[in-house]
Amino acid sequence: MSARYSAFSPSRIAAMNARQWYVLRSSWPRILEIIYWPAISMITWGFAQMWVGQESGGTFTVAASTLLGGVILWDVLVRGSLGFSITFLEEMWSKNIGNLMMSPLTPLEYVLSLASMSLIRLFIGLVPVTLMAIWLFGFNIWSLGLPLVAFFLNLIVLGWSASLVVSGVVLRHGLGAEGMAWIAVFVLMPFSAIFYPVSVLPEPAQYVAFALPSSYVFEGMRALLIDGVFRADLMLWAAGLNLAYGAIAVLVYLRVLESARTAGTLLSHND
């Protein structure tokens, strides 16, 4: 028996994923929670889309056809973010974070394990909901094809960036800050132009919208659903902004981690 050192180890990430999977599969309420809200949200907005489509006409009917797409893609962002945050919070709740910080697991490996677990949780939550959307409302988001990959990636990465910052804050200030994990991404909602074009927003709000990768994704989704055009330029803007925000989030996380080491909150956490 011997312990080996390596600066980066995929097997440590796999060990963390296995550990996180053990927790998830041991609790059916946790799995139900992953599916519950996306399903409720999709059904509610599906009926709204159905009603608006039947009662209106012209442009409004066309615009209404994007409601379900908006709901499902918004859930990609929210669930991507929550999957990351909750997986992190599980370690805080179980007082295991000190064990991890004292193990050879590096901050990068830990963040990658949270991101990969977020993908697994997103898959569990969203795939059944997209299938329900086909069955109940005849809306098939998978028919968007390859552009959907660009939409998904841009939204997930934005969610991870927000959650990384929030995780750092919780690590530094304790579980009293955990509420931020649940609400952090919702501040983006009004400016992300999920159900309406950016042009509807007042001019100052438009500047905020254009600084968010998510607004480019939803504009891109509407271009694809309404005009049948894939706007690669919008996806490039979103990817560029995501790179910038991702880098900022990593720097903030590392800075807060150091601050937590200075304050001594890595081993003992207070509310």
- Which are the contacts of 28, defined by CB distance < 8 A and separation ≥ 6? none
CB of 251 to another protein, least distance (A): 18
85's tokens: 């945050």
Whose Cβ is closer to another protein: residue 181's or residue 260's?
260
CB of 64 to another protein, least distance (A): 44
Q: Which of 204, 207, 208, 159 is nearest to 186 (CA)?
A: 159
Instruction: For residue 6, give the 3-state DSSP assignment.
Output: coil
Q: What angle do CA 56, 217, 77 make, to 5 degrees?
A: 100
Report how many residues bind another protein under the rule CB under 8 A: 42
CB of 105 to another protein, least distance (A): 5
Q: Candidates 4-12, 78-86, 155-163, 188-196: pick the segment binding another protein (CB under 8 A).
A: 4-12
Q: Candidates 60-68, 91-99, 186-194, 206-214: pick the segment binding another protein (CB under 8 A).
A: 91-99
Terminal-residue alpha carbon distance, the chain: 40
- State the number of CA atoms in the 13 A half-sphere of 258 facing the CB: 5
Please report whether residue 7 would count as binding another protein according to CB under 8 A.
yes
Q: Binding mask 26-55 vs another protein (x if CB under 8 A, - otherwise)?
A: xx----------------------------
Q: Which of 114, 39, 32 is nearest to 71 (CA)?
A: 39
Q: Binding mask 224-263 vs another protein (x if CB under 8 A, - otherwise)?
A: ----------------------------------x--xxx
The C-alpha atoms of residue 57 and residue 53 are separated, in whole angstroms, by 7
Binding site for another protein (CB under 8 A): 1-7, 9, 11-12, 14-16, 18-19, 22-23, 26-27, 90-91, 94-106, 258, 261-264, 266-268
